[in-house]
Amino acid sequence: MSSIASDYELDIGNLLIFHGRDPPPLSSSMTEEERDAEYLEQGRVLVQALADALFNMPSTLDKVGRLVNLPRPRMQLPREKPLPKPRPPTKWETFAQTKGIVKRKRSKLEFDEQNDEWRRRHGYKRVNDENDIPIIEAKVSDEPGVDPFLKLRADKKERVAKQEKNQLENLKRAAKIGGKGALPSTLQLAATSVPITGTKEPTKRLSKEIVGQAAGLASTATASIGKFDKKLPGEKPLKFAGKHRKFLPVVDGKGEEKQLLQDVLNKVISKNSHDILDVTKAVSMHNVEEEGKRAQQNRKQGGKKRKQSSRDARPSKKGGKLNHKVVSKSPGKSGSKGGTRALGKGKNTKRVNR
Amino acid sequence: MLRIVKPKTKRAKRELEKRAPKLEENTKKLLLLHGTKVSSVLRGVLADLFHLRKAEGRAIKYSKKNDGVRPFEGGGETSLEFLSQKTDCSQFAFGSHSKKRPHNLVLGRMFDYHVYDMIEVGVERYKSLESLGGGKKASPQPGSKPCFAFIGEAFEARPEFRHLKELLVDLFRGEVIETLNLQGLDRVFLCTAAGDKVLFRHCAIRLKKSGSKVPRIELVEVGPSMDMVIRRHREPSDNLKKEAMRIMPKTTKKKVKNVSGDPLVGKVGRIYMPKQDVGEMALAKMKGLKRERREAAAARAVAADSGTEAAPSNSPKKQRTE
């Protein structure tokens, strides 16, 4: 037991005591509790030695107790973050250094001649505030259409934009030279998304739905529509499952392609030719009917107009059927017949008897 | 295209500044996690560790199961590093239980939010805080600075034991303080290396009256007590260790000596001359002073005195000096 107390290493800064020798081996006949108690006793001796060292140090008395100054810890532990890197100087700072320009401190207050009082240099109710100028006198150099107040504001915006640009350039240079550690801790440089279409508008941030849709499309863009893909743990099933597209075989043995084309052709033709109603014929019939009516009206009204109307009533050159037709003298008949006669010119039609 | 990302509130800015790398660092925070399967023993261990470290918010305990965290495997540390970055914790304790590694506790540290080193330990014979009476009157004050006592040759000789010693000190040390109140010696962590195990005990210190200035120490076992079986460990790579152990060199302003100044006189300096031996120094050559030349000159002078018609001197060189 005494051997422990004599041979130890102290690290007072860490309040650590280390006994580098193995304790005397305990007999195997001891139970676990006895062994524990034995180790506890050995520990107690060590802590007593540490307390001896601590209490014998020069101490100052305070109302809470005796205070002791601890030395620096001997055992060095690793840091959690790298050492802070100094910020590389900005463009202005390097220029000022070479030229020998020294920063001078400016006073917070300045005397305002116009208002005859002391005002602050920056901030609320400042000296020489641009926005507070009520009247701007026109100079000879001024262009007639330019609004000087707007110009002031535009100039200010320009200056601010230039300053922002310079700050960004300084940060980029600092990041390039010193790495990410050289940037100030509260700032980060992030990449903005470049507009694809070349417009100067900043692209909007994609919403969750759009990203989800895009992800869904991408995951189904496989041969098996993403059915057999390994899913990540926690990935939810897709909301929009894709369609399975069937493609024709390259070498056509059964005449499927021919059948397809035939179907398409039939569809196209049947659209233009109705089983029940022949549209073109109905239209031409209708036109002729209209002419007949007009001709009749003109005949009733008389001579001059007859000539006009006869010109008007001349049948149009459209459709061969109209050429055969003569402006009928019995409009009533043609009207009724025209309706029925339109029938029966389709493919499979029945002839309607008059 | 780059843009500056600035914090939008002053509070966010303050938080970022707290987390920034500094010369004098904050006390490390401990992140407690558990994996897919946890035993009741491990749950107790993590709860006790949290209790020991929760003073001043220096410990964060997550109750959810983390399947993705596999410390000693290749890609299994990304989840850990992400959580460490989010919570600003540079120490972690990860508990998981499996048939191959029962009651497995991985203790580790981070450097710059990447894993620095880890040690995997199996917990045996665990006794919790409550069972030993740690939560009652006898218990030490939460957040007090602990003492450490390590017994065993293995802590010096074997690398994994040395690693465990360093890690345990780092875990429980707390702040580095300059002044200690001797009444506040509250707790001690006792680690004994017995065979292949480390017997870890946490005791409260009782200072009893003794005859002398130094009180008599009595230890009362409180808090978690466990036997640790070291399984795997990963030490940091050499250059990472060098990077993490770097101390900022002290740059004190150099005092300029031997310069004084007055507004009247201006800047005045003092120059100290060393002892000079004129005979030994390498000065400019004065060849005329050589003995031969002097003698020759003297002879000529004599000859010139005696006979003015005497021939000019034989010496080919002109005599410049006299």
The string of pLDDT tens digits covering residues B219-240 is 988 889 999 999 999 999 999 9
Which residue among A48, A187, A191 places its CB closest to the CB of B1?
A191
User: Does the distance separating the beta carbons of A68 and B180 come in below 8 Å?
Assistant: yes
Check if the beta carbon of residue B177 is closer than 8 Å to that of residue B145.
yes
- The encoded tokens of residue A203 equal 């692209």
**pLDDT of the residue at A295:** 93
- pLDDT surpassing 50 at residue A336: no
**pLDDT of the residue at A318:** 52
User: Does the distance separating the beta carbons of B116 and A78 come in below 8 Å?
Assistant: yes
- The encoded tokens of residue A114 equal 């116009």
Q: Which of B173, B82, B247, B118 is nearest to A79 (CA)?
A: B247
**pLDDT of the residue at A277:** 74
Check if the beta carbon of residue A76 is closer than 8 Å to that of residue A36.
no
* pTM, two decimal places: 0.64
B131 CB neighbours in chain A (<8 A) are: none
Q: Which of B167, B42, B54, B37 is nearest to B105 (CA)?
A: B42
Measured CA distances, B153 to A24, A47, B195 (Å) = 11, 18, 10
User: Does the distance separating the beta carbons of B181 and A18 come in below 8 Å?
Assistant: no
Q: Which of A264, A323, A240, A248 is nearest to A288 (CA)?
A: A323
Measured in angstroms, the CA of B34 and the nearest CA of chain A are apart by: 18
User: Does the distance separating the beta carbons of A70 and B4 come in below 8 Å?
Assistant: no
The chain A residue lying nearest B201, using CA atoms, is A40
Please write the tens of the pLDDT for every residue from B78-128: 999 999 999 999 999 999 999 999 999 999 999 999 999 999 999 999 998
Please write the tens of the pLDDT for every residue from B269-283: 999 988 888 877 777
Task: Give contacts of B 15-34 with A, CB under 8 A.
Answer: 16-17, 19-23, 25-26, 28
Residues 6+ apart with CB under 8 A from B229: B121, B122, B124, B196, B197
**pLDDT of the residue at A204:** 73
**pLDDT of the residue at A144:** 84
Residue A71: strand, helix, or coil: coil
- pLDDT surpassing 80 at residue B44: yes
Phi, psi at B114, each rounded to 5°: -120, 150
Distance CA A122, CA A110 (A): 10
User: Does the distance separating the beta carbons of B156 and A80 come in below 8 Å?
Assistant: no
Please indicate whether residue B256 or residue B318 has the higher confidence score (pLDDT).
B256
Q: Choosing among B180, B197, B228, which should be mutated to test the A contact, i.e. which has the most A CBs within 10 A? A: B180
Q: What is the mean pLDDT of residues B255-275?
A: 89
Partner A contacted by B179 (CB < 8 A): yes
Measured CA distances, B16 to A86, A168, B30 (Å) = 17, 20, 19
Which residue among B112, B149, B183 places its CB closest to the CB of A82?
B112
Distance CA A333, CA B2 (A): 85
- pLDDT surpassing 50 at residue A352: no
**pLDDT of the residue at B76:** 84
- pLDDT surpassing 90 at residue B67: no
The chain B residue lying nearest A181, using CA atoms, is B21
Q: What is the mean pLDDT of residues A342-351?
A: 48
**pLDDT of the residue at A335:** 44
Look at the block and give the residue holding tokens 């099933």. Answer: A237
Q: Which of B203, B155, B206 is nearest to B183 (CA)?
A: B206
User: Does the distance separating the beta carbons of B184 and A78 come in below 8 Å?
Assistant: no
Q: Choosing among A79, A164, A170, A199, which should be mutated to test the B contact, i.e. which has the most B CBs within 10 A? A: A79
Distance CA B28, CA B167 (A): 12
A188 CB neighbours in chain B (<8 A) are: 4-5
**pLDDT of the residue at B134:** 56
Residue type, A337: K
Distance CA B318, CA A121 (A): 82
**pLDDT of the residue at A308:** 54
Please write the tens of the pLDDT for every residue from A63-111: 888 899 999 999 999 999 999 888 899 999 999 988 888 899 999 999 9
| Mean of the per-residue pLDDT values of chain B | 88
User: Does the distance separating the beta carbons of A19 and B21 come in below 8 Å?
Assistant: no
**pLDDT of the residue at A337:** 46
Which residues on neighbouring strands pair with residue A9, listed in sequence order? A18
Which residue among B25, B184, B205 places its CB closest to the CB of A79?
B25
Residue B88 region by backbone torsions, left for phi larger than 0, else alpha for psi between -120 and 50, else beta: left
- pLDDT surpassing 60 at residue A312: no
- The encoded tokens of residue B242 equal 């060098």
Please write the tens of the pLDDT for every residue from A212-260: 888 888 888 888 877 788 877 777 776 666 566 778 788 877 888 888 8
Report the range of poorest mean pLDDT among B6-10, B13-17, B165-169, B285-289: B285-289
Helix ranges restricted to H, A127-245: 148-178, 208-219
Which residues on neighbouring strands pair with residue A118, listed in sequence order? A111
* pLDDT band with cut points at 50, 70 and 90 for residue B253: confident
Residue A266: strand, helix, or coil: helix
Which residue among B28, B148, B219 places its CB closest to the CB of A44?
B219
How long is chain A?
354
Which residue among B4, B6, B243 places its CB closest to the CB of A82?
B243
User: Does the distance separating the beta carbons of A80 and B219 come in below 8 Å?
Assistant: no
Q: Choosing among A15, A67, A232, which should be mutated to test the B contact, i.e. which has the most B CBs within 10 A? A: A15
Distance CA A259, CA A249 (A): 14
Local structure of residue B101 (DSSP, 8 states) = S
Measured CA distances, A193 to A210, B48, B311 (Å) = 16, 48, 104
Please indicate whether residue B37 or residue A33 has the higher confidence score (pLDDT).
B37
Cβ-Cβ contacts under 8 Å between A and B: the total is 210
A75 CB neighbours in chain B (<8 A) are: 166, 169
Task: Give contacts of B 91-110 with A, CB under 8 A.
Answer: 109-110
The percent of residues in chain B predicted with pLDDT above 90, rounded, is 56
The chain A residue lying nearest B191, using CA atoms, is A43
Q: What is the mean pLDDT of residues A305-310?
A: 52
Distance CA A33, CA A26 (A): 12
- pLDDT surpassing 60 at residue B314: no
**pLDDT of the residue at A296:** 92
Distance CA A19, CA B260 (A): 55
B201 CB neighbours in chain A (<8 A) are: 36, 39-40, 43
Residues 6+ apart with CB under 8 A from B275: none
Which residue among A43, A55, A185 places its CB closest to the CB of B16?
A185
